[in-house]
Amino acid sequence: MWQKILAFIKRDFSITASYRLSFFFQFFGIFFSVVTFYFIAKLFGKAAVPYLESYGGDYFSFVLIGIAFSDYLGVGLGSFAGTIREGQMLGTLEAMLVTPTRVHSIILFSSIWQFLLTSIRVLAYILLGVFFFGVSMVRPNIPAAFLVLILTILAFSSLGIISASFIMVFKRGNPLNWLIGSFSTLFGGVFFPITILPGWLQKVSYFLPITYSLRAMRHALLQSYSFQALGFDILILALFSVVLLPFSIYAFKVAVRRAKKDGSLTHY
């Protein structure tokens, strides 16, 4: 298994690195994004403090974590479906599917590079923020943040696998990505704390895994919350994973069987 994972990472890294300009420009994009929010945070000044007390009161630190880690949502939702669609369009999916490696392994391993690249981008966001824009992370609870990250990836990936199942059968017009992506960005606390929303809209937030993910991540990194203090958010994320992951795997198996019956496994 590890040999295969390495083979997928090598493949994807080689292809990514071959598009050299694109590879470097994404880091310029990170820089400009960070700078933009830095000055937006300056504009708010102390006005946002009442809403951000539990996160230390600083809007820039708050939003930096939000935009950095919401990248995982995008990758989790999009990478599995993207792998299938790309494989179908490139024609490489068929060549992979005639090997003994199972299709769910192919999809999973194909997404690892995207998650690795996202982790590099997140690290870039945080390092920029800490070393150049004054973000304060005194004694961050790294192990807790790591656990939150793993559960976050599991939860988002489950949604992504369900999304991939849709693409497998219907090829395009995946509503899941759009729905969850849009709702998560608006109601998940990416750019502003959910406490700013009217009470009835906050209820929507509680159904989204990103809400708990970002809250826990901010508390772990910015406020050094202990495992115990993060217990509720960790539990909810674990529940999301426990419920969604098996369902997503089942949905994917059904989708693959349906596509084989239709003969559209490699169509796009």
Partner 1 sequence: MAYAIEAVGLIKRFPRRRKLRQIARHPFRMETITALNGVNLQVEEGELFGILGPNGAGKTTLIKLLSTLILPDEGEAWVSGYNIFHDEENIKRSIGLVTGEERSFYWRLSGRRNLQFFATLHNMSPFQIQKRINSILEILELQEKVDDLFYTYSTGIKQELALARGLINDPQILFIDEPTKSLDPVAARNIRKFIQEKLVKEQGKTVFLATHNLEEAQQICDRLAIIDRGRILSLGTPSEIRRTVSKEDRYILKVRALSAEVLEKIGRQKKVAHLSSRPDPANSSVSILEIRLLEYEAALPLVIETLVSSGAKILDCSHFEVPLEDIFAQVVKRKGADV
- Nearer to partner 1 (CB atom), residue 88 or residue 213: 88
Q: Do the beta carbons of residue 121 and residue 174 sit within 8 Å?
A: no
User: Measured from the CB of residue 203, what is the shortest distance to partner 1 in angstroms?
Assistant: 37
User: Measured from the CB of residue 81, what is the shortest distance to partner 1 in angstroms?
Assistant: 19
Q: CB under 8 Å to 103, separation ≥6 — which residues? A: 97, 256
Is residue 98 at the binding interface for partner 1, with CB under 8 A as the rule? yes
Residue among 41, 214, 236 nearest 133 (CA) = 41
From residue 23, alpha-carbon distances to 17, 19, 26 in Å are: 6, 6, 6
Q: According to CB under 8 A, which one of 27, 29, 40, 91 is a site residue for partner 1? A: 91
User: By rule CB under 8 A, what count of residues binds partner 1?
Assistant: 29
User: Measured from the CB of residue 90, what is the shortest distance to partner 1 in angstroms?
Assistant: 6
What track of x and - describes contact with partner 1 for positions 243 through 262 (by CB under 8 A)? --------------x--xxx
Burial 200-238 (b: 16+ CB within 10 A, else e): eeeeebeebbbbbbbbbbbbbbbbebeeebbeebbebbb
Q: Which stretch binds partner 1 (CB under 8 A): 7-15, 35-43, 153-161, 202-210?
A: 7-15
Is residue 95 at the binding interface for partner 1, with CB under 8 A as the rule? yes
Q: Which stretch binds partner 1 (CB under 8 A): 97-105, 123-131, 165-173, 210-218?
A: 97-105
User: Measured from the CB of residue 60, what is the shortest distance to partner 1 in angstroms?
Assistant: 38
Is residue 11 at the binding interface for partner 1, with CB under 8 A as the rule? yes
Q: According to CB under 8 A, which one of 45, 173, 198, 263 is a site residue for partner 1? A: 263
User: Measured from the CB of residue 250, what is the shortest distance to partner 1 in angstroms?
Assistant: 18
Quote the CA–CA distance of 87 and 259 in Å, as a whole number: 14
Q: According to CB under 8 A, which one of 28, 47, 99, 200 is a site residue for partner 1? A: 99
Residue among 164, 155, 160, 158 nearest 255 (CA) = 164
- Nearer to partner 1 (CB atom), residue 4 or residue 203: 4
User: Measured from the CB of residue 8, what is the shortest distance to partner 1 in angstroms?
Assistant: 8
- Nearer to partner 1 (CB atom), residue 165 or residue 177: 165
Which residues contact partner 1 by CB under 8 A?
3-4, 7, 10-11, 14-15, 18-19, 90-92, 94-102, 106, 257, 260-263, 265-266
